Amino acid sequence: MPDGTAPQRNDLQIYDDRADQWWTDEVRWVRTLKNMVPGRLAYFDRFFDWEGQDVLDLGCAGGFMAEALARKGARVTGIDPAAKAIAAAQAHAAAEGLEIRYDTGVGEALPYGDASFDAVVCVDVLEHVEDLAQVVAEVSRVLRPGGMFLFDTINRNPIARLAVITMAEDVLGLLPKGTHDPAMFIKPAELRRALDGAGFAVGGFTGLGPRGMTRRGDFTFGRLPGTAIIYMGTARKPAG
């Protein structure tokens, strides 16, 4: 990239570019994504019992969340548009003896029948999609009555832009420059409206952020009281 040229925003090519290193712990920003999984699950576990349930990991990339869910006893399907990342996920699951189905595709047009899943998990994804309302509608379609949607995304405000773009991408290198487009960040009220519009019963939102640090100098993550930057939530499809 020539000097002075702004990075491409919402650059999803990064997931394929690092697919061969997804499980090696060699790339700092990939380790950051891996380190976010336990904090997310510690919250999601409060709302859903994974054992024996059919679960879709929407936007699974190389499989960090999908494998964690499989180890909790879920029957997991992962889907992502990054074909090389999907191949890496398939290879690692096979090496670990985990039965996870992986598909290449996008959230706006899920290749599954109606009422296929008991839960859909969608983390680090909604702020990247082209049509939020369509993705939410597709999640509702593939969920069984009473099914749960568990998600996180990034708030849209100056504090979130400072934390995610300026600090995480530009200064600390926790993510590659250009990973996010701040214009695509989602205010909680906007997400709640989209979920309401798809017929979900929406639960409360809570924050997600750094809570500690590993010996390697990487952040660990957990629940935070404020939703100004990253926030998590749940929504349930009506049972009848």
CA distance 196 to 190: 10
Q: Is the pLDDT of residue 5 over 60?
A: no
Tens digits of residue pLDDT in 204-234: 999 999 999 988 888 999 999 999 999 999 9
Tens digits of residue pLDDT in 178-201: 889 999 999 999 999 999 999 999
pLDDT of residue 175: 82
In this structure, the strands spanning 54-58 and 75-80 are: parallel
Listing from the earlier edge strand, what are the strands of the sheet with 117-122?
Answer: 101-104, 75-80, 54-58, 117-122, 143-154, 230-236, 201-213, 219-224
pTM of the model: 0.94
pLDDT confidence of 8, banded at 50, 70, 90?
A: low
